[in-house]
Structure 1
Amino acid sequence: MTPVPTTSQTRDKLHLQLARLFRNKIATGEWPVGQSIPTVEELEALHRVSRTTVRMAVHALVDEGLLETRKRGGTKVMGQPYKPPSFLLPTSWQELVAFGEQIQQITLHTANDCVPPIPSGFPLPGTLAPAYVHFLRVHSHDDARFCLSELYLEQELYPKLQEQLERATLAQALGNDSGQIATARQYLSVVPADELIAEHLGVPLGAPLMQALRWACNPQGLIVYWAKVRFISQYVHMEMDLLK
């Protein structure tokens, strides 16, 4: 039986959500550095939460050095939160190959004789091979982990690419060879963090992530590459030409 959250536990979750919202207001400049934020009473009415919840959220940002409460009342913005680098998400196979040069990677696990776990109801983009090599990799920038990849390479290709894969991404190892890659696509969505993400990226369960499902097929329609890649959303963005 699932335990029912207590009032204290619910308030704790609310104050963390509110702290994230306040942090974002500072990051975007809605609450400029050097200026005062709305009063506790105003924030209580605006967000329809208790005064205790507002104070807990404010104190969390005071502890981070982003806010300062003053003796004569009021709370002042003292600084901007750390802003991680934001990578442009690849929108073509060529960009995906080049993207591998921007990031560092660590292989956490490999396994043979696997099959990609294509989501239920997802249209099968090609023919599945009998077996794949599975890679679990974490990607980082300046020692900050921001991405977890679950990758599948058609098993007969692995001996040909094994040496390259010690230092390259799967997309880099496959390269732009039209003899191996005839079609490649990507499907983007927002998903909640699960236990695997919490363990390796250090984000709370349920936190929103950007997910990319990627696949590539050879000229015969065989799926040679499948990937489920999940990013901490602050680290990635997309740009598109709306006139194309």
Structure 2
Amino acid sequence: MVDATRSSLRKQSRLPLSLKVKYTLRARLERGEWPVGTRIPTLEQLMQAYGVSRATMRAALDELEREGLIERTRGKGTFVIGDVAQEHWLALPTCWDELLAYLGRLNTVTVELGSGKGRVPADIAGAAVPDTYWWTMRVNHADGLAYSMSTVYVLDAVAWRLQPDLCQGPVLLALDRLARDQIHAASQTLTVRVADADLARHLNMDIGMPVVRLLRTVRNQQGQIVYAAQVYYPAQYLSITTELSPSSTV
């Protein structure tokens, strides 16, 4: 196992070796190999285990300490102080009613980055849409943590019915409460991407770190899009649980 890990670390990659070591150590924290309160191996032991230099290992540990996961004390060692397993606190529901209930419990505080009127981009709607939409771009916070960055579109003919609620909380809650007659079908798609400079800045994360991109649309009975959203979540916060119903066998 150690030799295989060393080989993987040495594979040609654009990622600096210190970051590869950091993610390798972080994975051990995520698996619970080093619970909170544990003293992890010494610098020399880790250097020997992974076959890297002192400078590389120190840089990796610096990153983990900066994230609040470990604490180094001279003469005592390095201890785990952050529970990585608790980071996946954002449980994204896959059912409409559960989604609304969850949004209502989040106590979201939003910072608006811009708003206006225009068209939904084809890469969000899935095709060109000629209608005019009210839109808003926001960074969403819970308990002081920036957990998502969203751009939301509401059909302009519907948006006027939702003001001022559109600007005072989650748009989907306002749509469900004040324009329920416009909700006939809804769908969402999730893909994993990496953070660019804008996402990294607004979500307090490193460029290139994984993010989950969610595209959600709501249509009326005529098949017209009344709501569309593009939401980015840091992958480290998000968990998704789907109930599976196996068919019974005789």
TM-score band (shorter)? 0.7 to 0.9
Aligned to 1:190: 192
Q: Give the deviation of 1:104 after TM superposition.
A: 2.4
Distance 1:60 1:212, change over 3 A: closer
Q: Displacement of 1:179 after TM fit?
A: 2.6
Equivalence for 2:96: 93
Spell out, residue by residue over 1:51-78, the C-alpha distance to the aligned partner (whole angstroms, 9 max, x if none).
421132234445757243665xx94424
Q: Is residue 107 from structure 1 mapped to residue 107 from structure 2 by the alignment? A: no
- Residue 212 of structure 2: which of 205, 210, 223 is its match? 210
Give the 3 Å change call, closer, same or farther, for CA 55–151 of structure 1 in structure 2: same
Aligned residues: 229
TM-score, length-scaled by structure 2: 0.77
- Are the aligned partners of 1:11 and 1:53 in contact in 2 as well (CA < 8 Å)? no
| Equivalent AA in structure 2 for residue 115 of structure 1 | R
1:128 corresponds in structure 2 to: 129
Contact between 2:165 and 2:174, CA under 8 Å: does it hold in 1?
A: yes
Following superposition, the deviation at residue 18 of structure 1 comes to 2.6
Deviations 1:125-181 (A, max 9, x none): xx8242111210111111111100011111111111122112232211110765301
Equivalent residue number for residue 25 of structure 1: 28
After superposition, the Cα gap between the structure-2 partners of 1:65 and 1:123, relative to the gap in structure 1 and judged at 3 Å, is closer
**Structure 2 residue ranges without an equivalent (≥5):** 1-12
Instruction: Determine the structure 1 residue equivalent to 2:151.
Output: 150
Deviates more, 1:223-232 or 1:162-171: 162-171
Q: Is 1:118 aligned to residue 122 of structure 2?
A: yes
Q: 1:57 aligns with which of 57, 60, 83?
A: 60
Q: What is the rounded CA distance, in whole Å, between the counterparts of 1:76 and 1:224 in structure 2?
A: 53
Amino acid at match of 2:220: N
2-structure distance, mates of 1:148, 1:62: 26
Q: Distance in 2 between matches of 1:24 and 1:79?
A: 15
Is the contact made by 2:93 and 2:241 (CA closer than 8 Å) also made in structure 1?
A: no
Q: Which residue of 1 aligns with 2:3?
A: none
Q: Secondary structure at the match of 2:192?
A: strand
Provide the rounded CA distance (Å) in 2 between the counterparts of 1:207 and 1:15. 15
Give the aligned CA root-mean-square deviation in angstroms.
3.1
Give the one of 227, 242, 245 matched to 1:243: 245
In the alignment, what sits opposite 1:68?
72
Secondary structure of 1:179's partner? helix
Output the amino acid matched with 2:238.
Answer: V
SS state of the match for residue 32, structure 1? coil
Name the amino acid aligned to 1:18.
V
Contact 2:114 2:138 in 1 (8 A): yes
Aligned equivalents of 1:140, 1:18: Cα separation in 2: 30
2:171 counterpart of 1:166? no
Partner amino acid, structure 2, of 1:137 = R
User: Which deviates the most, 35-44 or 162-171?
Assistant: 35-44
* Partners of 2:155 and 2:54 in 1: CA distance: 57
Q: CA deviation at 1:123?
A: 4.7
Contact 1:140/1:147 (8 A) holds in 2: yes
Counterpart amino acid of 1:238? Answer: I
Give me the identity figure in percent. Answer: 31
Please report the TM-score for the alignment, with normalisation by the length of structure 1: 0.78
Counterparts of 1:199 and 1:60, CA distance in 2: 17
Letter in 2 for 1:154: L
Q: Is the 8 A contact 1:186 1:213 kept in 2?
A: yes
